[in-house]
């Protein structure tokens, strides 16, 4: 019989008494944890702290891993100033670059910030050419829509990037551009911060995971809607930030559109309304993608 020291008492005769009414076997059998030839870790996964413990337990101190993708981040627009500066007339602080750098880090990549590209085609071209040579993925935000200074798609083509698409049927994030270069994959993301955040999560994060050799899957939870939700148009997929309240019901956060970045910190996740779906009924089960 084997029992824990704290359940024992030494008797005056020198004998030991187990004072517990019940005791487990307290015997670890050989091969109980893992048997010879058993697979303990498989390829194609991100290494977590518990995986490190498993490798240490079997004496596997060196493993082959994928290179962390280097992701270049460029913001564009004369209206931007860095967060440490006070914006002047018609200026705003550059939020996208720092948001994207943090998203890259969370996704497992390595971010490299190239600064703000002014509304000048040649200067923007110089930055993009440098980034595609340095990096595996390049993200440039702003300048991809239809304004007078939205020339990023043209500059991407001048930089030798083969544009595969220049818009998607998703709101927010319709003016999203993607192209390939012999040295890198390139995304032109919208300038509005919610749009760039959403499209990174939908398109860039899975790509970073794939380049590292594993299939990342977002965490989705299913809960019912608290109240009916109706949108004006259903010609695009809609991404809506929501919270899950204490009663386990889903409700939209206060959200004024793709520039309303302060709506996201309060959100537990996003729900997607596919093309053609205009209404989510009260009590309808929805999939909340955690962000």
Task: Round to whole Å and give the CA distance between 50 and 54.
Answer: 6
* CA 66 vs CA 30, 57, 88, 138: distances in Å: 34, 22, 44, 19
Q: Look at the block and give the residue holding tokens 């980034």.
A: 131
Per-residue pLDDT of the chain (291 residues; tens, 9 = 90+): 788 888 888 888 888 888 887 777 777 788 788 888 899 998 888 889 999 999 999 998 898 888 999 999 999 999 999 999 999 999 999 999 999 999 999 999 999 999 999 999 999 999 999 999 999 999 999 887 655 557 888 999 999 999 999 999 999 999 999 999 999 999 999 999 999 999 999 999 999 999 999 878 888 999 999 999 999 999 999 999 999 999 999 999 999 989 899 999 999 999 999 999 999 999 999 999 999
- The CATH architecture to which 70-211 belongs is 3-Layer(aba) Sandwich (3.40)
Q: In the beta sheet, which residues pair with residue 211?
A: none
Kindly list the domain boundaries of the chain, sorted by start residue: 1-30, 40-65, 70-211, 220-290
Q: Which of 154, 194, 156, 155 is nearest to 174 (CA)?
A: 194
Domain 220-290 fold is Beta-clip (2.40.340)
Task: Round to whole Å and give the CA distance between 130 and 153.
Answer: 17
Length of the chain as a residue count:
291
Q: What pTM was computed for the model?
A: 0.87
């Amino acid at each position: 019989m084997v029992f824990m020291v704290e359940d024992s008492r030494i008797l005056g005769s020198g004998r030991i008494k187990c004072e517990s009414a019940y005791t487990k076997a307290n015997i670890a059998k050989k091969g109980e944890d893992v048997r010879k030839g058993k697979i303990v870790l498989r390829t194609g996964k991100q290494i977590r702290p518990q995986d490190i413990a498993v490798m240490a337990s079997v004496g596997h101190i060196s493993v082959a891993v994928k290179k962390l993708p280097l992701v270049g981040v460029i913001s564009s627009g004369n209206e931007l100033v860095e967060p440490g500066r006070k914006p002047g007339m018609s200026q705003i602080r550059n939020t996208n670059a720092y948001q994207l750098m943090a998203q890259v880090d969370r996704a497992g990549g390595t971010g490299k910030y190239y600064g703000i590209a002014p509304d000048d085609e040649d200067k923007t071209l110089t930055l993009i050419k440098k980034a595609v040579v340095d990096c595996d993925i390049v993200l440039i935000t702003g300048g991809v829509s239809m304004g007078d200074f939205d020339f990023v798609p043209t500059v991407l083509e001048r930089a030798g990037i083969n544009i595969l698409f220049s818009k998607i049927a998703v709101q927010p994030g319709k003016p999203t551009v993607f192209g390939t270069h012999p040295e890198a994959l390139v995304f032109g993301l919208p300038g509005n911060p919610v749009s760039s955040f959403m499209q990174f999560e939908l398109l860039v994060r899975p790509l970073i995971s794939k380049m590292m050799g594993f299939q990342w899957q977002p965490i989705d939870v299913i809960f019912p809607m608290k109240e009916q939700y109706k949108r004006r148009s259903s010609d695009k997929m809609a991404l809506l930030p929501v919270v899950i309240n204490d009663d386990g019901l889903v409700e939209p956060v206060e959200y004024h559109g793709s520039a309303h970045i302060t709506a996201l910190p309060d959100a537990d996740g996003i729900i997607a309304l596919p093309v053609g779906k205009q209404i989510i009924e009260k009590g309808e089960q929805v999939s909340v993608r955690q962000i």
